[in-house]
Each structure stands twice: as structure tokens, then as C-alpha cells.
């Protein structure tokens, strides 16, 4: 601006006065320009800092933060879910600690997730595992960064691979479909009339019936009854299920299992577990098949929630992203074909063995099947009766345990009747007399020994 004024003054031939003024006032200072030397010094300092304002290490100075999609696998047994929750053992807590130690992120980034634009594709619940979880974030692309991160992770959590993505990529919002599996012992299909044992072997007709029941879930439906806190008129209660099927059974460690697979756009909290729970109740004969369709209507139903142990996030799908950006020459398609063998090996070594061993030791499914009797399903008037019946059974059980405890304690008590007391007194007297006699015998023996010594 001052330069323009200077040119105008030259035109009006009054420049000398301005020249004198410039001797008093430094025009460069007025224009807020700094000397070139100061600029270079500040630039050197900025190069030594990361984007979040913290000083970088020598390793991270050589690399820039880049937006990536990370493929993860983990066994969720022993963890309180995927999402970070301070003071609680979660998958993300383990991931952030490992990435910080590997210098893929700074401590400040790990503490403030917004600084690395972190987002998970699916928030798995307590005990739920994942074979193909995807998270998006910014991190430093160090050499061998995947191996460096895995060095600081427990064996049941692995980073499989990463790929560069566009800066606006969000692993949750860009996802088109998610595929989950549910691994269940087949004795969960056993009719209620039969005594449920782990020796049960399912027939092909039962698997066919399960598949026919699962078709009720296909399409866009109102799943307000399959989660908590959702009302019938809430638009977010509508979810689209593309496919739901039950695979042929297989035997592992003496138990027969079957895997149910569901593919949908997105799922609400506990939705899949309640979908499985209702199907098992119908197959076992505790609820009528018509209840499935009633669950999509306005009335609130009592639907059981299957255990989280067998639930696994298999894979997530980015079809639209891959079509637009996967072949642009700068980014890769998020199909993870090169990691499929590693993922299958992880499922074989960690996820399935953990599910099977936990089921065998804790009887998770067998215990849960016993609770199906306490659900009213579509008969809301029956709910209060079932609760009362359960309470009555608990009271009877408590009373029986108390009686048993009293009987056991009485059996251990010492008799206190007058006859018993007389017997006890007599026994004590006899014991005292026997002791006195023994003392007298001992004294007599000592005297004889003394006499023998004096005679010698």
C-alpha cells in the first residue's frame, strides 16, 4: 500500500518530502515485513515440528503424516470392546500404546484422536472379535511400520496391513456393507422337549429350517425391537440386510459348531445378537415363527440377546470408494486380497480356538439357553407372570439351600441329652482312672529298678 502511495507522490512531484520521511520511519517495518534471515530461522524450527505442535523424533522428521486405512484382526475375549474408554481395557487402548511406542503417532496424537482424524469402521462390543476391522487415521509412514507396531501389541491383536487413502476418507461413513459371523454350538438348535447336551448333532433339515427363518430378516426392516433406546418412529431404526445364512456344521474338539453369516449396510447396538437369539428361540420351540414378523411392528417385544462370544466382524466393504478411487493411479482399492491368508491364519490360531475353549470351560451358550424360558417374546402379558415365576423359583431354591445347611450343621453337633451327658462323664472318669493306673505302674517299675541297682 505504501509503495502505491509513493508512486502517486512521484507523479505529483512531492517525493522528496516522502524520502525524508522514510529516513525517520522504516517503511519495511510499517509493511510488517521481516528480514530474510529471521524467516529462514523460523522455517528451520517449523521443520523440526510435527503438525500437532509437538517436537518430532529424528525418525519422524524424515516422514510426513499421511491418511491411511489400517486392516486389523483381534480376539475380543478379555476386552471391554473396541472403542477407547479411559480406565477400561479396550482394543483401541492397546493399539494407541503400540503405535506411540513404534513412533507411528506422537503421544499428543494418541491422547487427542482428532489430531490424527481417527475413526473405526465398527464399534465391536465386549468379548466380540474381528478378523477384518478397518480404522482410518493419520500416521507417520515409517519403514516397516506394520512390524514395528505389532512388536508392541499382544498376540491376540494384529495390524495386518495399511493403504494410503484420500484425505477425506472416513472408514465408518465410506463403508457400504459389513459382514459378521456368529459361531454357535449346534446344541443351541436342539428342541426344548429334549434334554440339551453337547453330544447333540444337528440334522440337515434343521439347518434348512434355520436358513428359511433367517430370510425374514432380508431387506429393509424396522429393527427397533433388536436394540435398546430406539422407538418405532425413529428413522435410524431402519436397517438393510443383504444376506443372512447358516453354514453346514463342523466338529472341533468334540463339539459340533455352525457359523451364521450376515451382511448388511450397518448394525445397531446388540442387533445381530438379538437377531440370532430370536431365531434360536423359534428353532427350540420357545417362540412361534410369527414372532419374527411381529418384531418389525410397533409393539415392543421381549427378545433375548445371544452371547457375544461367538460374534466376529469378518470384513467391511468399500465398493463405491474402490470404484471411484481404487484405480486412479494414486490410491489402492480397499479389498485386502494380499492379506487374506494372514487373516485366515489369525482366525484359525486365535479367534476360533478362543471361542471354542471359552465355550467348553465356561459353558457360555449352555448357560444362556437356560434363560430363554424367562422371556415373554410377543406375549407381553406373559412377561409379568414369568418374572413372578422366576422369583418364586429363586425363593424355593433359597429355602431348600437353607434347610440343607441346617441339616448339615445338626449332623455335626455333639449330643447334649442327659443320657449322652452321663455317657460322656463315665467315659471321662474311665479315662482319668486309666491314666492314674498307668502312673502307678510307672512308679512301681522305677522302685524295682532302684533296688536292683543297690543290690549290685
Grid cell locating 326: 481404487
Reading phi first (left if > 0) and then psi (alpha if -120 to 50, else beta), residue 13 is in left
Q: List the catalytic residues.
A: 125
CA distances from 53 to 40, 44, 109, 160, 365 (A): 19, 14, 10, 30, 51
State the distance between the two ends of the chain, measured CA to CA, in whole angstroms. 142
Q: Compute the distance between CA of residue 258 and CA of residue 188 in angstroms, rounded to an integer.
A: 10
Q: 149, exposed or middle or buried, with CB in 10 Å at 0-12, 13-18, 19+?
A: buried
User: Considering only CA atoms, which of 115, 107, 5 is closest in space to residue 56?
Assistant: 107
How many CB atoms neighbour CB 133 within 10 A? 25
Candidates 67, 435, 54, 358; CA nearest to 185 is 358
As a whole number of angstroms, the distance between CA 71 and CA 419 comes to 82
| Cβ proximity of 210 and 283 under 8 Å | yes
**What's the DSSP call for residue 201?**
-
Alpha helices in 102-248 (DSSP H): 107-111, 145-150, 204-214
What are the cell numbers at 175? 463403508
Nearest-angstrom CA–CA distance, 137 and 86: 20
CA angle 374, 129, 350 (to 5 degrees): 120
Return all residues near 176 (Cβ < 8 A) that are at least 6 apart.
265, 317, 318, 319, 320, 321
Name 71's bridge partners. Answer: 134, 161
The residue among 235, 252, 68 whose CA lies nearest residue 167 is 68
Query: Which residues on neighbouring strands pair with residue 180, listed in sequence order?
Result: 262, 313
Whole-angstrom Cα distance, residue 358 to residue 100?
32
Amino acid at each position: 500500500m505504501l509503495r502505491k502511495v509513493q508512486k502517486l507522490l512521484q507523479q505529483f512531484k512531492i517525493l522528496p518530502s516522502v524520502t525524508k520521511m522514510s529516513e525517520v520511519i522504516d517503511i519495511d517495518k510499517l509493511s510488517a515485513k521481516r528480514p530474510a534471515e529471521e524467516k529462514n530461522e523460523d522455517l528451520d524450527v517449523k521443520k523440526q515440528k510435527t503438525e500437532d505442535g509437538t517436537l518430532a523424533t529424528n525418525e519422524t522428521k524424515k516422514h510426513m503424516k499421511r491418511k491411511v486405512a489400517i486392516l486389523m484382526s483381534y480376539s475380543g475375549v478379555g476386552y471391554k470392546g473396541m472403542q477407547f474408554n479411559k480406565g477400561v481395557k479396550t482394543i483401541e487402548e492397546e493399539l494407541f500404546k503400540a503405535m506411540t511406542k513404534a513412533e507411528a503417532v506422537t503421544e499428543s496424537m494418541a491422547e487427542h484422536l482428532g489430531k490424527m482424524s481417527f475413526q473405526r469402521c465398527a464399534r465391536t462390543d465386549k468379548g466380540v472379535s474381528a478378523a477384518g476391522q478397518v480404522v482410518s487415521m493419520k500416521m507417520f509412514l515409517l519403514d516397516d511400520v506394520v512390524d514395528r507396531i505389532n512388536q508392541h501389541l499382544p498376540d491376540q491383536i494384529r495390524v495386518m496391513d495399511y493403504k494410503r487413502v484420500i484425505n477425506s476418507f472416513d472408514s465408518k461413513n465410506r463403508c457400504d456393507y459389513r459382514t459378521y459371523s456368529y459361531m454357535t454350538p449346534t446344541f443351541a438348535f436342539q428342541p426344548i422337549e429334549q434334554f440339551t447336551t453337547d453330544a447333540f448333532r444337528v440334522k440337515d433339515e434343521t439347518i434348512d429350517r434355520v436358513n428359511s427363518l433367517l430370510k425374514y430378516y432380508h431387506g429393509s426392516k424396522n429393527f427397533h425391537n433388536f436394540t435398546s433406546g430406539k422407538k418405532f418412529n425413529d428413522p435410524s431404526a431402519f436397517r438393510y440386510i443383504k444376506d443372512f445364512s447358516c453354514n453346514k456344521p463342523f466338529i472341533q474338539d468334540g463339539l459340533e459348531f455352525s457359523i451364521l453369516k450376515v451382511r448388511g449396510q450397518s448394525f445397531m447396538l446388540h442387533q445381530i445378537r438379538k437377531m440370532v437369539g430370536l431365531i434360536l428361540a423359534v428353532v427350540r420351540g420357545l417362540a412361534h415363527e410369527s414372532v419374527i414378523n411381529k418384531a418389525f411392528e410397533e409393539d415392543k417385544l421381549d427378545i433375548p440377546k445371544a452371547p457375544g462370544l461367538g460374534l466376529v466382524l469378518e470384513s467391511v466393504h468399500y465398493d463405491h470408494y474402490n470404484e471411484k478411487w481404487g484405480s486412479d493411479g494414486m490410491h489402492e482399492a480397499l479389498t485386502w486380497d494380499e492379506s487374506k491368508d494372514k487373516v485366515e491364519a489369525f482366525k484359525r490360531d486365535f479367534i476360533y480356538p478362543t471361542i471354542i475353549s471359552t465355550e467348553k470351560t465356561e459353558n457360555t451358550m449352555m448357560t444362556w439357553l437356560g434363560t430363554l424360558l424367562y422371556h415373554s417374546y410377543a406375549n407381553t402379558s406373559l412377561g409379568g407372570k414369568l418374572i413372578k415365576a422366576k422369583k418364586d423359583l429363586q425363593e424355593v431354591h433359597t429355602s431348600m439351600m437353607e434347610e440343607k445347611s441346617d441339616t448339615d450343621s445338626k449332623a455335626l453337633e455333639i449330643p447334649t441329652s442327659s443320657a449322652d451327658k452321663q455317657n460322656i462323664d463315665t467315659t471321662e472318669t474311665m479315662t482319668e482312672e486309666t491314666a492314674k493306673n498307668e502312673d502307678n505302674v510307672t512308679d512301681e517299675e522305677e522302685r524295682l529298678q532302684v533296688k536292683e541297682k543297690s543290690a549290685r
